[in-house]
Structure 1
Amino acid sequence: MKLTIHGAARQVTGSMHLLEVDRYKILIDCGLDYEKDRSIQSNENFPFRPEEIDVVILTHAHIDHSGNLPTLIRLGFNGQILCTPPTADLTELLLLDSVSIFMNKANKGNRKRSKGKFNSGGGPQPLYLQKHVMDTVDRFVTIGFNRPFRINGNIELTFIPVGHLLGAAAAVLKITENGEEKSIAFTGDIGRKNYPVLNDPQALPPVDYLVTESTYGGRYHTKNKSVEQTLIEVIDKACIKEQGRLIIPAFSIGRTQSLVYSLNKIFSEGLLPQVKVFVDSPMATMATGIFRKYHSHVNQEAQDFYRDKGDEFEFDNLTYVENLKDSRQISNYYEPCIIISSAGMLEGGRIQDHLFYNIQNYYCTILFIGYCAKGTLGHRLLRGDSIVHIKDRELAVYATIKQTDVLSAHGDHNDLMENVKQQDKAKLKNVFLVHGEEASMQLLAGDLEQNGYTVTIPEQDMAYTL
């Protein structure tokens, strides 16, 4: 069999790997590549013919793993997309949001064009439309965790839960080729232990080859404080002592649900006085509905909370903000409050309105709970820029800027090492590192090699005979 690493090679986004068994072609993930040196339209330049792909395996819903599926279908793919049930529902939500983002950018470019600022080319054309998303949804075939599924006579797929996001799975393939059985696992993104709402990653079965993410290679999460302890300290200072407001940029799917559950525990246990909480993201509201739908997939702690105290995503001082009018009214709420809004890196979404009205407020704290890529507004705030550009204005930064990693959904260096060390060293022939910055990959590779593993860091489009 042949493995070709077509995406997330020495970078984080654009996960896409091609596995060929005889003449049967399996694509594992098909994510958007939005590295800074590529236009979004370049994602339609597949290094293979889409119509020749027989089946797609989707590890989880995040756009850097799922976001180019409608393009694949638009350009000729006609097979099934295999994933877990929660992944199917969350992917549909995220892909429809991508269409909205594409259309907004196109309309913005056309408006500028009408003012004479652009040539006749107008704004960037959408990579795909809603009908392509619905075509994608029609191709989903859902498979439960730990249930072997025979793709064809020679290939068997099993999804193993890995935390990180509701429904996220590693794809483990058993393959019979020329009378010999081989096995390969693709981790997707690996979560961390004791994460709010989500189950811990499950150990993978022994395999011959492992394709693993390396996002946090060389980096370690804070260990001395829990999520609740960290939030209590920040809320106590920002909202209780200073009587101000706390703004938390958070991705709508996954991060927001874990944050809301953690706040619910804090307030229901009386660890802080009641503070008004606004969740200002329509997508977060819809995603929370999906978390409720698949409640059997959340961890035991969250299920116990539901049994003893009720819905973990609902409490008295919490309001899910539905429309834009109500969102804008939050600026007129003068009592201490917590505002949770997307997007996590501050690039678009309702969060920009809240920043616009609060970035110059001495009594506002902005708490980052996730990674911010270079070039984003979030990154500029975290590096300490004193003036930032928001909604066509230059604004001085008077708000307090804080960051914590306790809600990062990626496993750190130790988690990644443990995932590999659970393998049978005598059986495991090679570890391929993907989905990480090159420096992170090198640090993880060095540690693995010191522990006796053979490690490869592929270049993009590099092929290997296994």
Structure 2
Amino acid sequence: MKIKFLGAAGEVTGSCFLVQTGNIQFLVDCGMLQGGREAPIRNRQPFGFDPSELDFVLLTHAHIDHSGMLPKLIKAGYSGYIYATGATADLLDVLLPDSAHIQEVDAERASRKPRSQQGRHYGLTTPIYYMADALQTLNHIKEIEYENIIDLAPGIKCRFQDAGHILGSAIIEIWITEGDNTRKIVFSGDLGQPGRPILRDPVFIEEADILVMESTYGDRPHRTTNSTEEEIVDIFNRTLPKGNIIIPAFAVGRTQEVIYQLLQLARHDKVNNLKVFVDSPMASKATAITMKHMELFDEEAKKMMTWKKIGTELPNLYFTESVEESQMLNKIRSGAIIISASGMCDAGRIKHHLRHNLGRPECAIMITGFQAMGSLGRRLVDGVKRVRIFGEEINVRASIHTIGGLSAHADQPALINWAKGFKKAPIHTYLVHGEANPAEVLAGRLKDELNWNVHIPKREETISFN
């Protein structure tokens, strides 16, 4: 048996793992690389395998860095099933067509540039895939329920468990039998932060021979809920009287949690009369899907039925749809909280709002999620003084705030606590979905405290198991 780490190895995005055993080979995730100038080029490179020879695909969750290359896979000849939870399937109905639309728009924009200005990026005038490929991909999704063990192929079965990261996210347990030997592989996917609003906590897994585990925040803890609330309230009080607050947020998961957080603050009279604009048609659809799957909420969210109270608790919550409505937001000079995608500030409507507010010292930018190396959001977090948006140089005068307490990823204490759920140490543990320092720090903690055998694979590295 072999595992080839095709993506999210030494980096956070681009999740893709090829498992080969006997005559069977399959993928876990097929995600898009995000952030940095090299991402569009790398995403266009051929797969390091023949898609037509894959037997099936297992998908941990719907985020584009885990699912975004599935249409490319279909386009390249894959014809089998893509196994995912029902909530993930619903989200893919929104996310994959949107991704295709972005590909087509970006390619058309690139084609308008003189070839002399395109340089090594000339190939970007062709989309990675088209809308037809995304729609065709949806026909390959096969929904499975949490906790059910299913047979995938002779000698291979799996079970999806709740990862608590976003709606429908899964930890995948896989049993592979070769001859008289059965090995259990566990892919953690992205693990959620315990105690976060809306979703249930990640399920603890008790046994694994091979563990492929995320390490995004493996080097640090998040701020406490109380500390996070105090920070948000302080930003609101200082900013809204004279300026706007811009919140880049992924349309799936993060936007809904930010709304929930604002709702909680309003219910406890910590903030009042907020004017909140969710400027993302995809976020509106994702919010509707979230409400459809209330069976996946944690007990507190179910008890409060919070989502049904949004209209009364946050009366000034608006979901904008049209381009004209979005453009009107940029005429507001103060008092607006604008939540918009993309979460890393590299595409979508958020770039327009940053263009109109970054240069204003009375405004604030609230970063609520992970920012990949090379992304515009990461540059803002790192303190860059000037950025280029739509060809315009903008001085960064707005205050930049990183609100780690709102992260949907497990922090270091949560990752270690989840690891302690194993009754005995996995024989092999591989840390993925992390940059070098977080992965190395987490590896050290797992080795020192739990006496685990931990390896941090490189991209394209293949591990063989006898």
CA distance in 1, matches of 2:306, 2:398: 40
Q: State the partner residue of 2:462.
A: 462
Instruction: Please give the secondary structure, in 2, of the residue aligned with 1:310.
Output: helix
- Name whichever of 346-355 and 274-283 sits farther off: 346-355
Q: Indicate if the aligned counterparts of 2:43 and 2:128 stay in contact, CA closer than 8 A.
A: no
| Worse-superposed segment, 39-48 or 248-257 | 39-48
- Alpha carbons of 1:172 and 1:228: their partners in 2 closer, same or farther (altered >3 Å)? same
Matched, 1:292 2:291: yes
Q: How does 1:166-205 map to 2 (within 5 A)?
A: 166-205=167-206
Q: Does the C-alpha gap of structure 1 residues 43 and 422 become closer, same or farther in structure 2, counting only changes over 3 Å?
A: farther
Residues 182, 348 of structure 1: alpha-carbon distance in 2 compared, 3 angstrom cutoff: closer
The answer to whether the 8 Å contact 1:388/1:396 transfers is yes
1:176 is aligned with what amino acid?
T
Q: Is the 8 A contact 2:32 2:65 kept in 1?
A: yes
- Residue 28 (structure 1) aligns with: 28
Moved more, 251-260 or 428-437: 428-437
Structure 1's 195 and 155: CA in aligned 2 closer, same or farther, altered over 3 A?
Answer: same
State the match for 2:430 in structure 1: 432
The alpha carbon displacement at 1:308 in A equals: 9.6
The answer for the alignment partner of 2:208 in structure 1 is 207
1:236 CA displacement:
2.2
Deviation at 1:309, TM superposition (A): 6.1
Give, in angstroms, the shift of residue 164 of structure 1: 1.1
Contact kept? 2:263, 2:314, Cα under 8 Å = yes
**Offset at residue 193 of structure 1 (A):** 0.8
Equivalent pairs, count = 462
> Counterpart in 2 of 1:5?
5
Alignment match, 2:257: 258
Listed as ranges, the matches of 1:62-461 within 5 Å are 62-113=63-114, 117-118=117-118, 123-223=124-224, 225=226, 227-239=228-240, 242-306=241-305, 310-311=309-310, 315-334=314-333, 336-425=335-424, 428-450=426-448, 451-459=450-458, 460-461=460-461
Structure 1's consecutive aligned runs of 4 or more residues displaced over 6 angstroms after TM superposition are none
Would you say the 8 A contact 1:107–1:123 is kept in 2?
no
Determine the C-alpha separation between the residues in 1 that align with 2:351 and 2:97.
Answer: 21
Give per-residue Cα distances to partners, 1:51-99, cap 9 Å, x unaligned. Answer: 1110100001111111111111111111111010111121232221221
Q: 2:5 aligns to what SS in structure 1?
A: strand
Structure-2 separation of matches of 1:121 and 1:224: 46
Instruction: Check whether the contact 2:206–2:422 (CA below 8 A) recurs between aligned residues.
Output: yes
1:52 corresponds to which letter in structure 2?
A: E
Report the CA distance shift for 1:5/1:25 in structure 2 as closer, same or farther (over 3 A).
same
Show CA shifts across 1:355-399 (max 9, x none). 222223232111111222333332333333333322222222332
Report which stretch shifted further, 41-50 or 302-311: 302-311
Q: Shift of the alpha carbon at 1:137?
A: 0.7
CA distance in 2: counterparts of 1:63 and 1:309, whole angstroms = 28
Give the residue type in structure 2 aligned to 1:329: M
* Alpha-carbon distance in 2 for matches of 1:439, 1:72: 31
Please give the secondary structure, in 1, of the residue aligned with 2:173: strand
| Consecutive unaligned residues in structure 1, runs of 5 or more | none
Give the distance between the partners of 2:67 and 2:163, measured in 1 at CA: 17
Distance 2:364 2:122 in 1: 42
Q: Deviations over 1:316-371 (max 9, x none)?
A: 11000111111111233355221111122221221222222222323211111122
Distance 2:326 2:248 in 1: 15
Secondary structure of the corresponding residue to residue 332 of structure 1: coil
Q: Percent identity over the alignment?
A: 37
Letter aligned with residue 336 of structure 1 = G
* Helix, strand or coil at the partner of 1:25: strand
TM-score where L is the length of structure 1 = 0.93
- Would the alpha carbon gap of residues 405 and 122 (structure 1) be closer, same or farther in structure 2, given more than 3 Å must change? closer
Change (3 A) 1:448 1:287: same
The verdict on how the C-alpha distance between 1:178 and 1:314 changes in structure 2, with shifts beyond 3 A counting, is farther
Q: Distance in 2 between matches of 1:189 and 1:70?
A: 21
| Structure 2 unaligned spans of 5+ | none
Whether the aligned pair in 2 keeps the contact of 1:363 and 1:399 (CA below 8 Å) is yes
CA–CA separation in structure 1 for the residues paired with 2:209 and 2:169: 22
Checking the alignment, whether the CA contact within 8 Å between 2:35 and 2:344 is kept in structure 1 is no
TM-score of the two chains, using structure 2 as the length reference: 0.93
Task: Return the alpha-carbon distance in structure 1 between the equivalents of residues 283 and 11 of structure 2.
Answer: 27
Change (3 A) 1:160 1:342: same
Instruction: Report the CA distance shift for 1:26/1:266 in structure 2 as closer, same or farther (over 3 A).
Output: same
For the structure 1 residues 307 and 117, does the alpha-carbon distance in structure 2 shift closer, same or farther, using more than 3 Å as the test?
Answer: closer
What's the secondary structure of 1:142's corresponding residue?
strand
Tell me which amino acid in the other structure corresponds to 1:438: A
Change (3 A) 1:335 1:414: closer
- The answer (yes or no) to whether the contact 1:173–1:184 under 8 Å persists in 2 is yes
The letter of the residue matching 1:51 is S
Once the two structures are TM-superposed, the CA of residue 129 in structure 1 deviates from its matched residue by 0.9
**Cα distance, 1:122–1:371 mapped onto 2, change above 3 Å:** closer
SS in 1 for 2:226: coil
